Amino acid sequence: MAKKTTQLAVIGAGPGGYAAAFLAADLGMDVTLIDPAGNPGGTCLYRGCIPSKALLHVARQIRESQESRVWGVEFDRPRIRLNTLREWKNGVVSKLTGGLGQLVEQRRIHYVRGTATFRDNTSLSVDTIDGQKDTLHFENAIIAAGSRASPLPGVNIETETAAGRFMTATGALEIKEIPKKLLVIGGGYIGLEMGTLYASLGANVTVVEMTSTLLPGVDRDLVRVLSKRFSKLVKEVLVETVAKRFSIQKNGVKVTLESANGHSAIRLFDKVLMAVGRRPRSDDLGLENTGVLADADGFIPVDAQQRTAVATLYAVGDVVRGPMLAHKASHEGRIAAEVISGRRVVQDAVAIPAVVYTDPEIAWVGLTESQASKEKPIDYQAVRFPWAASGRALTLDRPDGLTKLIIDRRSERILGVGIVGTGAGELISEGALAMEMGANAADLGLTIHPHPTLSETVKEAADAFYGNATSIYRPRRQPGG
């Protein structure tokens, strides 16, 4: 490792860590970035966001080739070559992570392949991948260690995944084989994305979710649209159901499924995908040697400047509370770097957008209707524009979409935006920008959108608030009403 002191040490080279390290270097700091991987990227680029979206793109091409017969175009049955698919996916990852490696060199960041634990508030013990153990002294440090998959009760992730019958999302993205019968435990975004992928590749997928609906916490209007199409893609969706007991067999895994009404059934699956969430990776950082204490759930408390209880230590991304999203981590990493450089900035984002890359996609930013009515009782109006009235959606043969706005009745400010439909993830940034800029419904309605586009649905939803939408009829809103 050689280097013994640094102005800024960054632990973890995921989106939060490398964004912080890059900006800090741009601001003139001497930076050391520590991560076991050959290049920066973290879970997102190596085992999460990027490989999953690459594979989901392929899955969509498969589905569209099958659905195109209604347009008068027929293709032969797709032949899937897993080795080629895997190589292409890995190539995408290599290009991105390799590019980040070049940016490390261009910024003259000291990159150390290894793991780090705190010795005290100003030094780290660094174990490099070549077996060396060194001490690194720092003026400030940013913890960007990320998260790991949450285990199922009674299932040892390392042991069972090694045996080959259980998978985490990381293992699922290796696509070593396509199981005939796959059980996905968890109806959150990871479970639904992986369920979409494997069902498109030919697996009979069963999804179980312990709550009463898929994507708990997401706007129900949006989830209903997704559920209709998703339920046709997979073999079955079992809500209010828990996977209780597992028994490894020669030909698969026997799983006991128990529903809320007390019904119990034993089913046999080739593989089981565990998608019950993620937990912060804060338990192996040596925090006990510092003045920083993680909370009961493993999250590190921080203030609006990402500073922990120790003035020299900062934390960003999945190790702090909030949605576990790469773009949130990057934003927090940049905030921490600016604060350390002496700039007076705080984390004051009005809203953080989220996207679920299913088919159709779901994206939202700001308040959902449930939050507006229950968690923050306000005088709001929810307006909806169905994509069945969108010319562009019809030309894509994808009218199964909805754009929804949550609007403050009095100020007419945009409080939340929700979109379900093809390309929703590309559309949601307009909603995020509207909220950050304090836009109201009139601002969206008066903004000229190109025609025909899916983005018009945002404008039409805003116009519907006033009863002026062109493509749907809504009673005209009375002044002050």
pLDDT in tens, 39-93: 999 999 999 999 999 999 999 999 999 999 999 999 988 999 999 999 999 999 9
Q: Which two tokens stand for residue 326?
A: 């790469």
Q: Does domain 5-149+279-340 have CATH number 3.40.50.720?
A: no
- pLDDT value, residue 1: 65
Domain 354-466 class, CATH top level: alpha beta
Of the chain, the percentage scoring pLDDT greater than 70 comes to 96
* Beta partners for residue 115, in sequence order: 127
- pLDDT value, residue 163: 60
- pLDDT value, residue 156: 67
Q: Which of 57, 110, 263, 451 is catalytic?
A: 451
The gap from C-alpha 218 to its chain's centroid, in whole angstroms, comes to 13
Q: What's the rounded mean pLDDT across residues 162-167?
A: 76
Mean of pLDDT over the chain? 94
* Beta partners for residue 291, in sequence order: none
- Residue 158, pLDDT above cutoff 80: no
Separation between Cα atoms, residue 184 and residue 201, nearest integer Å: 15
Q: Give yes or no on whether 5-149+279-340 and 354-466 have one common fold.
A: no
57 catalytically annotated? no
List the domain boundaries for the chain.
Answer: 5-149+279-340, 157-276, 354-466
Residue with tokens 């089981």: 272
Residue type, 257: L
- pLDDT value, residue 100: 98
Q: What's the rounded mean pLDDT across residues 311-327?
A: 96
Q: Which of 324, 315, 275 is nearest to 295 (CA)?
A: 315
Separation between Cα atoms, residue 390 and residue 282, nearest integer Å: 47
User: In this predicted structure, which of 147-161, 213-227, 293-307 has the lowest mean pLDDT?
Assistant: 147-161
User: 351-376: buried (b, 16+ CB within 10 Å) or exposed (e) per residue?
Assistant: bebbbbbbbbbbbbbbbbbebbeeee
* Beta partners for residue 245, in sequence order: 256
- Residue 144, pLDDT above cutoff 60: yes
Q: What is the pTM of this model?
A: 0.94
Q: Which of 377, 395, 403 is nearest to 455 (CA)?
A: 403
- pLDDT value, residue 477: 67
Q: Which two tokens stand for residue 165?
A: 């019958």
- Residue 334, pLDDT above cutoff 80: yes
Q: What's the rounded mean pLDDT across residues 166-181?
A: 94
Q: Which fold has domain 157-276?
A: FAD/NAD(P)-binding domain (3.50.50)
